[in-house]
Structure 1
């Protein structure tokens, strides 16, 4: 399909901030009874009655967290919301509202922001979220997106990073490492395109990996799944900085060690094939890749029979005494100390905050 070079471009300078906000936020529907007043006033009004309010915020910066040369703006908007509500899922809470703030340079026309907000709207519809406010401002550093996610949970259901006990099973949802390899594929094709713009990439052989990078999903389904199984996690975190880093967070909070078993790591077949193509060790990718937005949690040993046959869950190890250290048990039964190579933000002691 040939790109239309004469598309309409409405400069931001042609519209005021209030008009721009009204334009971008039209079409957001109210999905939750807890939303009394959403956009269109100085503040949102929410009512949660007997449930705890859980809040998290995430920021994405152009050139640091995303590359617009291969990240479509609609996908970016969708991913920004997924990124924020994944933290609420990691606390066993249900996301209900989001606030969206965007800093944008004058190289973006209104039509580009329409694409970004189409992604926000799609995610809001899929996850039944109400957009209840936010802000827009100018930027001389490209595009910056901040999403604040608000959710609810009964006090007894909230799961923190701290709480795991010795011999607790370590469980992960879905599969891991695919998002990282999707990024490697996209970056390679970008470099090829820069050398030869006439060379159009064929991403079909990498469709799953690319989708995991460009359009990930938050595991908001796991809360209901665990409730049906009558399983209560003892600790939980989402996998954004790599499995090894997140496991070590849970161990540190509980003052415990762990054994993770290499042959139990859930890897998609496409990931294994592409790791071979790139000559990268798939276990290294699984442990340190990041951006999978899967959930990592611990459960008591007595829940083993409830968890072991569920296709959405993989038991990958167990908690040990702190003096045993944090270890990977290889397929050859060798023990290697885990090292966290993912990005470690400062002062991030919990995925989200609970408002009492």
Structure 2
């Protein structure tokens, strides 16, 4: 989890001393940040634009396992998954707040590693860390991030705008994060059985990184603006392709057809899934945590996007009576099911 160098107990600084220690080097870069850390609340000015706000939590034992999750990567990922929500609204993230709950087993050096990852993500994406909270926790490590951003009113994209005939598009490739998780879990079990055996992750860097260090797709939003394409509906893929397209269809009161042969899969994802006796398509449909963007566009925009290397057209929106369907490589039609990750496994609903 962290190395064996001498540790500094958090109690040596106290809550406010810890906050000052972690935030003393913050440099604000956003014009909209009037006041950041240091008062009862941050002060922002978006000059009449639509403000976008989203919050996500990462819980130890639920969303991550410290047996194989580096703390710096965890801090980085916590920011990324939140920025992804703002990009999914076709917006620009500008600020984040971070709340962290931790047990007494964490020395200051461990918390510094988490914040190092946070600061790297903030710098890369040009967002300001403007506040948050720290607390003790008896339930393990907890990270809660709120992201704030903006967009012009006419640029905001919701989930409910898909129209019959719209093309369904996805960025990047899918299933890698889930397959990477299976690999990490396997190596953890092997290590627990025999600590003398070192993890065997050689040649699997891509799918491991997809799980531990995802990237919010700011580049895709920039590309769509560059080619003058505004999606009719959009969502980020956190719970699997099937779950996310069903969210769009439900809120747009439409159906869809997704073509299995069009779903983008990286060769490493495909091959490793087969090693685990998993169906690569199912990994893409239900795995989640890819944080790619799933969006619909008008057919008139086809010529603008058809040759964009990092965008795949995987299907189209249909009338609601048709339902949500997967057309397999053999031409069979199967109803899509939302079998992605469920935050409340005892719940009867798979909805977010």
TM-score by length of 1: 0.95
Does 1:219 pair with 2:220?
A: no
- Per the alignment, residue 64 of structure 2 pairs with 66
SS at match of 2:174: coil
1:81 is aligned to 79
Q: Which runs of 5+ in 1 are unaligned?
A: 352-356
SS of 2:99's equivalent in the other structure is strand
| Aligned length in residues | 346
How far off its partner does 1:27 sit?
2.1
Structure 1 CA distance, aligned partners of 2:249 and 2:212? 30
The Cα of 1:50 is off from its aligned counterpart by: 2.5
SS at match of 1:108: coil
1:354: which partner in 2? Answer: none
Deviation for aligned residue 1:99: 0.3
CA drift at 1:269: 0.6
Return the match for 1:234 from 213, 232, 235: 232
Aligned residue among 304, 307, 310 for 1:306: 304
2:36 aligned residue: 38
Change in Cα spacing, 1:195 to 1:344, as seen in structure 2 (3 Å) is closer
Q: Give 2:193's aligned residue.
A: 195
* Alpha-carbon separation, structure 1, partners of 2:262 and 2:26: 42
Query: Counterparts of 1:227 and 1:135 in 2: how far apart (Å)?
Result: 36
Pairing 1:149–2:163 present: no
Of 161, 178, 202, the match for 1:180: 178
SS in structure 1 at match of 2:65: coil
Residue number in structure 2 paired with 1:24? 22
Confirm or deny: 8 A CA contact 2:174 2:284 kept in the other structure.
yes
1:243-280 deviation line (CA, Å, top 9, x unaligned): 00001000101111110000000000101110111111
Q: 2:327 aligns with which of 326, 329, 339?
A: 329
- Aligned equivalents of 2:160, 2:83: Cα separation in 1: 20
1:261 matched to 2:244: no
1:47 paired to 2:73: no
Distance 1:134 1:175 in 2: 33
Assess if the C-alpha contact under 8 Å between 2:76 and 2:121 holds in 1: yes
Q: For each residue in 1:282-321, what CA deviation from the matched residue of structure 2 results, as whole angstroms up to 9, or x when unmatched?
A: 0000100100000000001111111111001000000011
Please give the alpha-carbon distance, in whole angstroms, between the structure 2 residues aligned to 1:345 and 1:51: 33
Question: 1:204 offset after TM fit, Å?
Answer: 2.1
- 1:288 and 2:289 matched: no
Q: Which runs of 5+ in 2 are unaligned?
A: none
- CA deviation vs aligned residue, 1:225-252 (integer Å, no higher than 9, x gap): 1111111100000000000000100010
Structure 1 residue corresponding to 2:295, chosen from 294, 297, 305: 297
What is the match of residue 136 of structure 1? 134
Aligned equivalents of 1:293 and 1:310: distance in 2? 19
1:95 counterpart SS class: strand
SS of the aligned residue for 1:41 comes to: coil
Moved more, 337-346 or 47-56: 337-346
Residue 226 of structure 2 aligns to a residue whose secondary structure is helix
Q: Which has the higher contact order (CA 8 A, sep 6+)?
A: 1
* Structure 1 counterpart of 2:7, from 9, 14, 22: 9
Equivalent residue number for residue 121 of structure 1: 119
SS in 2 for 1:209: helix
Report the alpha carbon displacement of residue 4 of structure 1 after superposing the two structures with TM. Answer: 5.5
Could you list the per-position Cα deviations for residues 181-212 of structure 1 after superposition, in whole angstroms to 9, with x for gaps in the alignment?
A: 00000000000000110100121221100000
Inter-partner Cα distance in structure 1 for 2:195 and 2:118: 31
- The alignment's C-alpha RMSD in Å is 1.5
* SS of residue paired to 2:162: coil
Which aligned runs of 4 or more in structure 1 are off by greater than 4 angstroms?
none
Contact 2:93 2:147 in 1 (8 A): yes
Corresponding residue SS for 1:204? coil
Counterpart among 271, 275, 278 of residue 276 in structure 2: 278
